[in-house]
Amino acid sequence: MRKVLVTGGLGFIGSNLIELLLQQKFYVINVDKVGYSSNFYNTKAFIKNKNYKFIKCNIQNRKKILNILKKYKPIGIFNLAAETHVDRSIDSPVNFIESNVMGVFNLLECFRKYYKSNSKAKLIHISTDEVYGDVLKGRSKETDSYNPSSPYSASKASSDHLVSSYIKTFRIPAIITNCSNNYGPRQHPEKLIPKLIYNILNNKPLPIYGLGKNSREWIYVYDHCEALIKILNKGKLGNFYNIGSNYNINNIDLVKKLLSIVKFKKKIGKNVKIKFVKDRPGHDIRYAIDSCKIKNELKWKPKVNFIDGLKKTYMWYFNNQKYFSKFNKIDFLKRLGKKND
């Protein structure tokens, strides 16, 4: 049985990836520091699976990470341990540098030692489309320059460059992926779609930055996870792969589509209305990536269209409303990302 290690596996993408890996008969070691966005509720579907092992550990703990690698000998490492909320990076950039840059540096140092005696091992470093910055026209390709706008995207760009440098300098077997906005079950309610769903279910206004014209490319989380496993199995070492759906929608239209879905399921409270709020500093207008490379080389393509995915997502939160109670409400109800001094 093939063993893989997933960092950040108590989070949104990590837990969905683990579930899919277990379905495909991998043995999975989940390494997570148990931060504010970590949630054991995310793993309840597979917590008792005999092929699943959880270890509490921060990727900045180099000694412990190296010992875990030596003990379990995974053939693949998916690095999903990261601070990811842009608004939080505006309020506290240091946390993003520590986790997304120094954490990745520590992981790279561990992997550099580990792979020398485990030559079949691969590191899959998962990043974001935000590193490309504003894309007002067309779509970003893997060969395009980075132009990050927020401390979050800058920290991810830095980690990508670190991984790339270790590939070139130390010849480590690694691959870098850049994915568009994910949505689906188990996402922290500080993020747009689960926050909207929470507010709808609790008869609260729906806050939208600026005029709601910011456009994002959305991909259902299961499609992203399938792409990552495909990259582990068939991806070319040293390469970058963009992972996206090719479907863009601006925030105001997203809210309207979500409300139209909800109306068929439940009565919407009178306080559920769109509320435009002051935009955050450095808010990019549009992200869009070109995913032709992974589609052509690895024969991957997304399966879930946006409306179907949005319906699935809403129903998951509707049927799992106690999920919201697993978090400190201050972490997702308080407005963040207003600092600009």
The active-site residue, picked from 83, 87, 129, 290, is 129
Q: Is 179:288 a contact under the CB 8 Å cutoff?
A: no
As given in the structure block, the two tokens for residue 19 are 């579930």
Exposure letters 15-40 (e unless 16+ CB within 10 A, then b): bbbbbbbbeeebbbbbbbbeebbbbe
Catalytic residue among 114, 146, 152, 183: 152
Cα separation, 39 vs 220, whole angstroms = 20
Q: Which two tokens stand for residue 216?
A: 């994002």
Active site residue 109: no
Task: Check 83, 130, 223, 290 and give the catalytic one.
Answer: 130
130 is catalytic: yes
Residue with tokens 């008869």: 203
Sheet holding 181-183, edge to edge: 181-183, 215-220, 248-250
Cβ burial of 72 (10 Å; 0-12, 13-18, 19+) is middle
**Which residue matches tokens 């409300």?**
259
Q: Can you say whether the dihedral through the CA atoms of 299, 300, 304, 305 is positive or negative?
A: negative
d(CA 288, CA 112): 33
User: 94-119: string of b/e by CB count within 10 Å (b at 16+)?
Assistant: ebbbebbbbbbbbbbebbbebbeeee
- Is 152 designated active site? yes
Give 113's strand partners: none
Residues in the chain: 341
d(CA 133, CA 271): 35
Task: State the pairing for strand pair 215-220/248-250.
Answer: antiparallel
Question: Which residues are identified as catalytic?
Answer: 129-130, 152
